[in-house]
Amino acid sequence: MNILYLMTEPFGIGGVQSDLLVLSAGLRRHGHRVLVATTQGVLLPELLARGAEFFDLDFRFRDPRLLARAAGRLRALVSEQAVDLVAPQSLRSSIAAYAALRLLPSPYRSRVTGRRVPIVTTIHNIHNPRNFRWAGRILRRCSDHVIFESHYERNRVLASGLPPGRSEVIHSGIDTERLANPSNPAEFAARYGIDGQKHLVYGIVARLSEEKEHGLLVRAFAKVSAVHPHARLLIIGDGPLLSAIEEQIRTLGLQDKVVLTGMQRDIASHLALLDVFVLASSRESFPLSAREAMAASRAVIAPRIGGCPEVVDENVTGLLFESGNADDLAYKMLRLAQPEERQMMGRAGRERAVRLFSCDAWVDGDERVYRRWAEGQTA
């Protein structure tokens, strides 16, 4: 198959981009041609190294004129590259696919079925309340079928108008073997002044943006640090709130206890430095970072929101806290200061990640859906 992925955001740091890196490699191994249409970003070289082909199309349209331009370019691309299936990764790119291939019917037809090219959308998450209100109706019109990464997100969209039979859940996967075999944690430990025998290390891997609630985590950590002076907090990532978090750390006098690593690509080695992984978000759909931490045998603390309860088996692989409650978060962090409990949860988390979130099961699941639609076996 020639599979064309459409993305709204540039190919930079993000969950959707990470997903496409894994899917591209997996589908290429299965003999498929993978094409990705979006704008350039810092992870584009990694995408190309995995055998995918890149096409520079901007789907961040805000008016009919820009939509028409994107749709026209997409129509031409589908025909020129003999695409068998279009796979938008967002509502906006689904609208562009519909405009290109349905609103003004394309003369191009599938090489396999002789019918119009199917549109199979994947929804990772929908954060904007305005978009969510109309998501079901948009997808019902603009997509032939929808893949959701979590039951939480699917249930939300079914409530806004998407027929149940037009969708299914396939959990996105992670490279469980890579995360269990970090390449160089000792070098990073020395760089950050982390002593595994002395320090109790909490950490987060997330973009420093409003919804990730790093400020809440820092406040909770200040409470933990008052009880455990040797505790450390590793904040792995970069983003627009970096300066605000740095100021908060100074205000609370935590400069010697909180380490800001900036953006890192060697996630496995960084997770190996942690005793406990903490996600403090105010909104989440199906958090990739929490699943990666579980694959690295780390106990996970996450908010009781969105798809987090689908990822974290409470009191087995980690703990859930009341979103936005720094006191509750600090309490859960203190609870996992006990090594026996967090180590037991880490082992259980590893087993759960391998069983439910493997890359092979994910790639096979998406490929099965793509083949069904590309071969016209949809009745």
Q: Could you tell me the CATH superfamily of domain 176-356?
A: Glycogen Phosphorylase B; (3.40.50.2000)
Give pLDDT, residue 13.
Answer: 82
285-314 burial: b if 16+ Cβ within 10 Å, else e: bbbbbbbbbbbbbbbbbbbebbbbebbbbe
Total Cβ atoms within 10 A of residue 175: 17
Q: Domain 2-173+359-374: give its CATH architecture.
A: 3-Layer(aba) Sandwich (3.40)
Give pLDDT, residue 111.
Answer: 87
Give the contacts of 240 (CB within 8 A, at least 6 positions apart): 208, 209
Give pLDDT, residue 14.
Answer: 83
73 token code pair? 């370019």
61 token code pair? 């349209």
Of 48, 49, 74, which Cα lies nearest the Cα of 59? Answer: 74
Give the chain's mean pLDDT.
94
How many whole angstroms separate alpha carbon 295 and alpha carbon 210?
26
Total Cβ atoms within 10 A of residue 316: 14
Listed by start position, the domains of the chain span 2-173+359-374, 176-356
User: What Rg value do the Cα atoms of the chain yield, rounded?
Assistant: 22
How many whole angstroms separate alpha carbon 246 and alpha carbon 252?
10
Q: What angle do CA 360, 362, 363 make, to 5 degrees?
A: 70
The dihedral of CA 124, 1, 11, 51: what is its sign?
Answer: positive
Which regions in the chain score pLDDT beneath 50? none
Q: Which helix (H) or strand (E) holds 294?
A: helix 288-295
The dihedral of CA 172, 178, 184, 185: what is its sign?
Answer: positive
What are the phi and psi torsion angles at 174 (to 5°)? -135, 160
User: Is 220 buried (19+), middle (13-18) or exposed (0-12) by CB count in 10 A?
Assistant: buried
